[in-house]
Chain A
Amino acid sequence: MTTLDPLRLTARDAKRLLVDGEISAAELTKVFLDQIAAVEDKVKAFILVTADNAAKYSTKVDREMQAMRGPLAGLPIAVKDNLVTEGVTTTCASRMLHNYQPVYTATAVRQVWDGHVVMLGKTNLDEFAMGSSTEYSAYQVTANPWDLDTVPGGSSGGSAAAVAAGEALWALGSDTGGSVRQPASLCGVVGMKPTYGAVSRYGLVAFASSLDQIGPLTRSVYDCALLLQHITGRDPRDATSVELPEPVVLPSAERLDGLRIGVPSEYLDVGLEDGVRARFDETLARIEELGGRCVEVSLPHTEYALPAFYVIAPAEASANLARFDGVRYGYRCSDPVDLTDLYERTRSEGFGPEVKRRIMIGTYALSAGYYDAYYGRAQRVRSLVCRDFDHAFSQVDLIASPTSPTVAFTAGSRTSDPLAMYMSDVCTIPANLAGLPAISIPCGLSGGLPVGFQLIGPAFSENRVLAAAHALEGAIGFDTAPPFRGSRSSSGERDRGSADTTPRPEDTHP
């Protein structure tokens, strides 16, 4: 068996080794399970590792090679724990769903399962995907493999950290305001949010339904396209899902000749760290070297996108999370005296602080006296943000920006200031508001921590985004292997509030 480096192996290379018979699916899966055993203590990317099932299933893929083949067969994957998986506990990193056993499987997960991927486990996130650091998980704090004292970003921080730490070949996440791209940026991996509707949201536990999209986190742009190919498509179970006008193509571009890249000045005026700005400017220079042309564009309503998002997303969340009432599934408070007591205590005890904040902001913004001033206005501002993009895309093919204004920040540094945390997504939120496809690729290091470069395209331009990202990735030549520096001074287990009494989900996969 070839010795494989889980920190650098791509799905593309792994597949070639499988096809050439140089490695079996069981051996490949063991590479990642061994890495989980070696580093998970420090990284804490997984809420649940389904090791036994992964080992068993990979053996089955090897045994039934004739029936179980295809581009994804035998490739190990990690899945964010807000995607429901039949037979495997799905918690959304919330006490509310600590014991939830889904009776169905999310379409995107079903699609990769049908392709015979090997699921390694369910990854950590900010509770119900609300957060930008994965510190709002009810179970554990995930560490960034580049520096264990910093956060992996969020909310798909577990998926991003698992890929960066070599604990998974690739992963699925979800992105409502940057929750795939921002952690990808902070962890030095590739992350993509497709066009709204490109991937079915059936089985993605809803946060903000008009913004949520499932997306891949991978070690290369090619892998990102490969995974995206298999999760896109119209699904009768999600009325907002659509067929992409052209299927996702595996990218091979090495040049950017003739491509016009717009650089919005408003995105550079958001308090970028010097190192982030430097890597961004260098990447623009690479675009020019590859034959592309960078021009300044204006997205004048950018500064209003964040305020609009923090009305729309909480408003939708407050409606979506009304279902968690202790009646049909999930946590129920003990000995409720009547129905009101059941609702109040179940929700008070079951939800963490950030979820409560958003439910309160959302219900306030939707209340009769404030609807027009908050929700109504936010949806109008959203139209202006969409118009800005329409206008910009009449001049350029793609828009470029840093993914995050900063590199990974120190754990605990933003949890006491919600607005500082919200600012983490200032460059990623507009693409969600407008439903546009956007990718983050690593473009270098600042102070030893990865910097992400974001490309945003018009709706349904996935292939253009992926082709440009592929060419740029080749020119950048980023090394995806993190050093695991830092001491991880805090243990990583939840240390506030109800942590001690929160039961950890057990592995119940059949």
Chain B
Amino acid sequence: MAGELARILAHVGKMSEIDVTGVRPTAHVLDVVNVTREDKRRPGLTRDEALRNAPAVSDDCFRVPRMG
């Protein structure tokens, strides 16, 4: 895989051929304005729903092995 990654990086390196001085990076492709929503409470996932797909659960929490 190292060889493949090197070839992909060489290919994307083609970008260095062009001068981008003074060009602003794209932040968003369309002209949009900030969108805000009403600051009102609305239902989210229940605890049961949030835990339903967890590989391991303990005391209504996600269970993970000890840290290192």
Interface residues of A (CB under 8 A from B): 99-101, 103-104, 195-197, 210, 236, 239-240, 242, 301, 303-304, 306-308, 310-311, 326-332, 336-342, 353, 356-357, 360-361, 364-365, 373-374, 376-384, 386, 418-419, 422, 433-435, 459
Contact = CB atoms under 8 A, between A and B. Distances in A.
3 closest A-B pairs by beta carbon, nearest first, are A435-B29, A329-B53, A379-B25
Chain B interface mostly: loop
Contacts of B55: 326-327, 329-332
Contacts of B23: 380, 383-384
B52 A383 contact: no
Interface in B12-64: 12-18, 20, 23-30, 32, 35, 37, 45, 49-50, 52-56, 62, 64
A360 B23 CA distance: 27
A377 B16 contact: yes
B13 to A, nearest CB: 7
Nearest to A86: B49
B24 A459 contact: no
B66 A330 contact: no
Given A304-B14, A332-B55, A419 B8 contact: yes
B54 A103 contact: no
Contact of B25 (A195, A310, A376): A376
Given A338-B68, A339-B66, A377 B20 contact: yes
Given A342-B64, A459-B30, A382 B25 contact: yes
Contacts of A239: 35
Contacts of A381: 15, 18, 20
A283 B27 CA distance: 36
A361 B20 contact: no
> A interface, by DSSP: helix, strand, loop or mixed?
helix
Given A361-B5, A361-B9, A336 B15 contact: no
Given A327-B62, A383-B23, A307 B15 contact: yes
7 contacts: A195-B30, A242-B32, A311-B15, A338-B65, A342-B65, A376-B25, A380-B26
Contacts of A435: 29-30
B54 A329 contact: yes
Contacts of A308: 12, 15
Contacts of A338: 65-68
Interface centre among B18, B56, B62 (most CB of A within 10 A): B18
A307 B54 CA distance: 38
A132 B2 CA distance: 21
A384 B20 CA distance: 8
B65 A341 contact: yes
Given A336-B65, A337-B65, 10 more contacts: A103-B49, A304-B15, A307-B11, A308-B15, A329-B53, A339-B65, A339-B67, A360-B1, A374-B12, A381-B15
A380 B37 CA distance: 31
Contacts of B16: 373, 377
- For B5, B25, B30, B56, the residue with the greatest tally of chain A CB atoms inside 10 Å of its CB is B30
Contacts of B56: 332
A435 B5 CA distance: 27
Nearest to A337: B65
A330 to B, nearest CB: 7
Residue from B4, B20, B26, B30 having most chain A Cβ neighbours under 10 A? B26
A382 B18 CA distance: 12
Contacts of B66: 338-339
A196 B30 contact: yes
Contacts of A356: 1
A307 to B, nearest CB: 4
A356 to B, nearest CB: 7
Contact of B68 (A307, A339, A377): A339
B37 to A, nearest CB: 6
A338 B67 CA distance: 5
Given A342-B64, A381-B15, A101 B52 contact: yes
A192 B54 CA distance: 36
Contacts of A304: 14-15, 17-18
A310 B12 contact: yes
A419 B16 CA distance: 18
A383 B62 contact: no
A430 to B, nearest CB: 12
A196 to B, nearest CB: 5
A303 B17 CA distance: 11
A377 B56 CA distance: 42
Given A336-B65, A361-B5, A310 B26 contact: no
Contacts of A307: 11-15
Contact of B29 (A306, A341, A434): A434
B8 A418 contact: yes
Contacts of A331: 55
A370 B15 CA distance: 13
B45 A103 contact: yes
B68 A380 contact: no
Contacts of A383: 23-26
Contacts of B12: 307-308, 310-311, 361, 365, 374, 378
